[in-house]
Amino acid sequence: MLPIEVQRAATLKPKPSSEGLGFGKYFTDHMFRMDYSPERGWHQARILPHGPLGLDPGAAVLHYAQAVFDGSKIFRGKDGQLRAFRIDDHCKRLAASADRLAMAVVPPEVAREAIEALVKLEADWVPNAPGTSLYVRPVVIASEAFLGVRPADKYIFFVILSPVGSYFAGGAETVRIWVEQEHTRAAPGGLGGAKAAANYAAGLKASVEAKKRGYAQVLWLDALEHQYIEEVGTMNLFVRIGDEIITPPLDGTFLPGITRESVLTLLRDWGMKVSERKLAISELREAHKKGELREVFGTGTAAVISPVGGLGFQDGELRIGDGKVGEVSQRLYETVTGIQNGTLPDRHGWMSLIK
């Protein structure tokens, strides 16, 4: 067991009501922090009041973007118990992301202990209204003050927590998505397969432009040919054509989503025809012409399933199905959230108790 020093906040913040939680607006009272140096490795694990990190302005992260993160959720079940969703997979992915950016890697079991210790201390912050949860954000940044270009030799690993609401608050709704034909997010051989902060910076401009056009997010196409679908916003993408459910194969240009993997597992459990294959935008448009484009949805920790009702192109908009939430999207949303809040059986061992 990792020795964790605990320094409690002198005053606690009032807890927000579950109605207005939104996503990522509120932070709990405490955070976890641990530091890395070549001599000491990861050291000084501590829980302290949520607050500034005290970075030197020369810190490598501020210049060369050595920063990776992850995001997972803790749920309060009907029985009052706290459960994490696929926490080991999230901790392993954080390690893989750090490795891709030549950063010090937090061993997954250490990250898990850190998260569990912090969540236990902040247990009162886990909301219990339907659709709410405690979002866990572990982050690793390069903290060494040095302007030469090489991997930094000092790092900070911290974990912050945020109580979050349901994306489906007023009932499930579809979003309209802009198909981005100009900007790209990640190229083959690049950082797309890591949860790197830099990938988000690369996507912001296109998402602002999509919003100006009246679209909620961007559908990203591949960087080489601008043909094949990759992701939607910061979610993995699924398309249902006839009875085939298609998602692009993991090729390193987008993140191996844990929701994506869970959805693939459920669809296969249900005996549905699932393909991990390339899907060109021309094939999607062709399917729409024939009336076979039935559903499009994104998958990710924050929204779980985000059904798409329309796809915007320079020459007009394609309506997906009848523009409402499709049956597979609905069933997946209910099943994943049911497993998460403990109302459905957890057949794949995705949930772990935090006690």
Binding site for ligand PLP (CB under 6 A): 71, 195, 199, 231, 234-236, 254-255, 257-260, 299-301
Q: Say how many C-beta atoms besides its own lie within 10 A of residue 48's C-beta.
A: 15
Reduce the DSSP state of residue 110 to 3 states and report it: helix
Between 16 and 256, whose beta carbon lies closer to ligand PLP? 256
The span from the CA of 107 to the CA of 110, in Å, is 5
Closer residue to ligand PLP (CB): 132 or 259: 259
Of the CA atoms within 13 Å of residue 192, those in its CB half-sphere come to 22
Q: How far is the CB of 266 from ligand PLP (least distance, A)?
A: 13
Q: Provide the 3-class DSSP secondary structure of residue 327.
A: helix
Query: Tokens in use for 194?
Result: 């890591």
- C-alpha 75/C-alpha 24 separation (Å) is 16
| The 3-state secondary structure of 33-76, one letter per residue | EEEEECCCEEEEEEEEECCCCCCCCCEHHHHHCCEEECCEEEEE
Rounded to a whole number, what is the distance in angstroms from the first to the last CA of the chain?
15
Distance CA 317, CA 308 (A): 12
| Residue 271 falls in which region: left (phi positive, over 0), alpha (psi -120 to 50) or beta | left
Q: Which is nearer to ligand PLP, 42 or 254 (CB)?
A: 254
| Nearer to ligand PLP among residue 259 and residue 340 (C-beta) | 259
Q: Of 199 and 207, which has the nearer Cβ to ligand PLP?
A: 199
* Residue closer to ligand PLP, measured from CB, 261 or 317: 261
Q: What angle, rounded to 10 degrees, do the helices at 327-340 and 258-269 form? A: 110
